[in-house]
Amino acid sequence: MSWILVTCMLAYGSLRLALWIRGQIRYLLLRERLPAWPQPRPRPVHLSPGLELLLDHNFAGRVQLVESSRTIATVLITDPDAPLGSVRDFRYRLAVAQAWSAACAWRSSLDALADDDRCRLERAGYTPWAFRERQAALQRTVRSTVRAPALEPFAVAGVERTAALVTAMVEDLERVELALARGGDDPYR
């Protein structure tokens, strides 16, 4: 091996090590800013069994989406390629797949609601059209992410858009809980 090649390899290894250490230090400094874990809210009384089941799936979906959001944020902080404009960390792919799985599970529980439960949910102030649009956008991201070759770089801007999308889905599920808590009055009054 020539000394030029060895010098280039040492420089590249040093750069990667410095970027990795930078990511670890940034994580230690910024880990309090990661999305907070959701806390269960008191269950409204007088809900139908279908809406109670939806609330159960809602909280489980919210926890999974927050976990995905935290993972994506961690990847953006720690990935050594992030300062260079891309992300190669495999955890990003897993987080996107997990967010997609959680969104599909919640959507199927929403679609399984009886018509009177859907009407009650809409009267309480929640309509699922925004969630459906976000799920469709996430599906496009899932397709491009899961089908990409190993170690394929993803642009940081695209990863940040995905993080914002998952955060918006979490907020949408929070709105469901708030709407049912407000609209959970006794139907016989």
* Beta strand extents in the chain (DSSP E only): 86-87, 154-155
In this prediction, residue 186 has a pLDDT band, given cuts at 50, 70 and 90, of very low
Note the pLDDT tens digit of each residue in 129-154: 999 999 999 999 999 998 899 889 99
Secondary structure (DSSP) of the chain: --HHHHHHHHHHHHHHHHHHHHHHHHHHHHGGGSPPPP-PPPPPSS--HHHHHHHHHHHHHHHHHHHHHHHHHHHHHH-TTGGGTEE--HHHHHHHHHHHHHHHHHHHHHHTS-HHHHHHHHHTT--THHHHHHHHHHHHHHHHHHTSPTT--EEHHHHHHHHHHHHHHHHHHHHHHHHHHHS-S-TT-
Question: What value does the mean pLDDT take over residues 171-183?
Answer: 88
Higher-confidence residue of 119 and 189: namely 119
Give the pLDDT score at 145.
92
Task: Give residue 183's pLDDT.
Answer: 64
pTM for the whole thing? Answer: 0.87
Report the candidate in 42, 103, 108, 22 with the shortest Cα–Cα distance to residue 67: 103
For residue range 81-96, list pLDDT tens digits in order.
999 999 999 999 999 9
> pLDDT tens-digit profile of 16-66?
999 999 999 999 999 999 999 999 888 888 888 989 999 999 999 999 999
What backbone torsions phi and psi does residue 185 show, to the nearest 5 degrees?
-70, 165
Q: What is the distance of C-alpha 48 from the center of its chain?
A: 29
pLDDT band at 10 (very low <50, low <70, confident <90, very high): very high
